[in-house]
Amino acid sequence: MALTVDLKCCKDDNRGIFYEESERCLIYLPMHETVEDVYKTITHEVIHWCLSDKCGVQFDETLDELQEESIIFNMQWADCSL
């Protein structure tokens, strides 16, 4: 169980994407303006992995894509709202 994060120099419609089947994240650098922005996207995709079945954590309920995105958003901005 290991996550791989690959940085890509080509443009894509996404800033980053997580593939559960291969446990791989792709981060598209041209879609970011700052290094901090890249770090935020990496963190976002790693949290996707943490919420997936591949990470080894089992949830009692299945999350749909919108619920998962909402959880990740709230986690990443929690320090600003506290």
Residue-wise pLDDT for 9-59, tens only, equals 998 999 999 998 899 999 999 999 999 999 999 999 998 888 887 666 666
Cα angle for residues 48, 12, 72 (degrees, 5° grid)? 20
Nearest to 5 by CA among 52, 54, 39: 39
Which pLDDT band holds residue 80 (cuts at 50, 70, 90)? confident
- pLDDT at position 18: 93
Phi, psi (rounded to 5 degrees) for 12: -150, 170
**Please, are residues 6 and 25 in contact by the beta-carbon 8 Å criterion?**
yes
Most confident of 25-29, 61-65, 70-74: 25-29
Token code pair at residue 45:
């995709």
3-state secondary structure of 9: coil
**Please, are residues 62 and 34 in contact by the beta-carbon 8 Å criterion?**
no
Number of domains in the chain: 1
Which pLDDT band holds residue 3 (cuts at 50, 70, 90)? very high
Range of the domain at 39: 4-81
- pLDDT at position 55: 67
